[in-house]
Amino acid sequence: MADNVTPRVRVPRDAAAGETITIKTLISHPMESGQRKDSDGNTIPRSIINRFTCEFNGESVMEMILEPAISTNPFIEFQAVVPESGTFAFTWYDDDGSVYEESKDIAVS
Amino acid sequence: MSFSRRDTILMALGAAAATTLPMSARAAIEDAISAFTDGAEVGETGITLTAPEIAENGNTVPVEVSAPGAASIIILAAGNPTPGVATFNFGPLAGAQAASTRMRLAGTQDVVAIAKMEDGSYAQARQEVKVTIGGCGG
C-alpha cells in the first residue's frame, strides 16, 4: 500500500437546485508507472490508482479509468448537477486492493 | 575508417530496429482506438481537446476534454510506451461531459481524445504536444 494517501476534494458548500457545480479532487499517490527502474536496474513494479468514481446520493456522476500515464498525485476536475441536498461520495481504487473514500455534503437552497 | 562485414550487418540491423519501433507504437494506438470505437467511423466535430502546445515537464501535462452529449471519452497518447491515459464514463448527474486531469508524456507526440456519443457515433480530436523533458523516468 502506498504511504500517506490523502484524498482532498473541493465541493461548494451550497448551491441552487439543478445548478451545475465544479468539483476538484486531488489524492496524494506516487502512481508508480511500472516503466521506471531503480538504481540497480530493476523495474519498479506498477502501483497506481486504477479507478475513480463519484456518486451523488447513490447516483453516478462519473467514473474514470486511470492508466499509468496519469501523473503523480492524480488531479481530476469535473462538473456535476445537484438536484437536491445530499452527499457526494468519492472513491479511489488502488492496484493493491486498497480503497480510499471521501464524502462531502452539499446544501441546496 | 573501414567497415567489416560484421559491422555492416550490425548497422543494418540497428537501422531496421530504429524504423520498426515507431511503427509498433503507432500500431498500439491504432489498436487502442479500434478497441474503443469497435472499428466504427470516427467524426471530427463535437469534441474539444485542450492541452498545451509546449509542455516543459512531461511528468505533469494538464489536459482537458469536453464533448457535449458524450457517454464516455478516452484519452490516448500516441508516443507513450502504453497509449492509454484515461477513460471517463459520465453518469446521469454529470453537469457537463467534460473533465480535466494531468498526464505523463514520454516525449513530443500526438495526444488523441475520442468521444463516444449517446447516439453511438464517435468524434475525435488530435493535438501535438511538444515535450521538453520526457516523463517516463529511467
pLDDT at B134: 83
Residue B124 CA to residue A79 CA, distance in Å, equals: 21
The mean pLDDT value of chain B amounts to 86
Domain-located, residue B135:
no
Pairing of strands B61-66, B42-43: unpaired
Domain-located, residue B16:
yes
Domain-located, residue B138:
no
C-alpha closest to that of B49 among B30, B34, B65: B65
Using a CB–CB cutoff of 8 Å, tell me whether B71 touches chain A.
Answer: no
Q: How many domains does chain B have?
A: 1
Residue A89: burial class (beta carbons within 10 Å; 0-12, 13-18, 19+): middle
pLDDT at B14: 64
Mean pLDDT, range B27-37, rounded to an integer:
86
Domain-located, residue B62:
yes
Reported as a pLDDT band with limits 50, 70 and 90, residue B28 is confident
Each residue's pLDDT tens digit in chain A (109 positions)? 567 789 999 999 999 999 999 999 999 999 988 888 889 989 999 999 999 999 999 999 999 999 999 999 999 999 999 999 999 999 999 999 999 999 999 999 8
Domain-located, residue B137:
no
Which A residues in the span 21-80 are in contact with B, Cβ-Cβ below 8 Å? 21-22, 33, 35-37, 55-56, 59-72, 74-80
Q: Is a pLDDT exceeding 60 seen at residue B18?
A: no
Q: Which domain holds residue B83?
A: 5-129
Domain-located, residue B115:
yes
Reported as a pLDDT band with limits 50, 70 and 90, residue B7 is confident
Residues 6+ apart with CB under 8 A from B40: B120, B121, B122
Domain-located, residue B24:
yes
Residue A67 Cα, gap to closest chain B Cα (Å): 5
Cβ–Cβ of B136/A59 closer than 8 Å? no
pLDDT at B27: 77
Q: Is a pLDDT exceeding 80 seen at residue B57?
A: yes
Q: Is a pLDDT exceeding 90 seen at residue B20?
A: no
Cβ–Cβ of A71/B82 closer than 8 Å? no
Q: Express each pLDDT in B105-121 by its tens digit.
A: 999 999 999 999 999 89
Domain-located, residue B36:
yes
C-alpha closest to that of A7 among A109, A78, A93, A83: A93
For the domain that residue B79 is a member of, what is the CATH number?
2.60.40.2470
pLDDT at A19: 92
Nearest chain B alpha carbon to A81: B95
Cβ–Cβ of B98/A72 closer than 8 Å? no
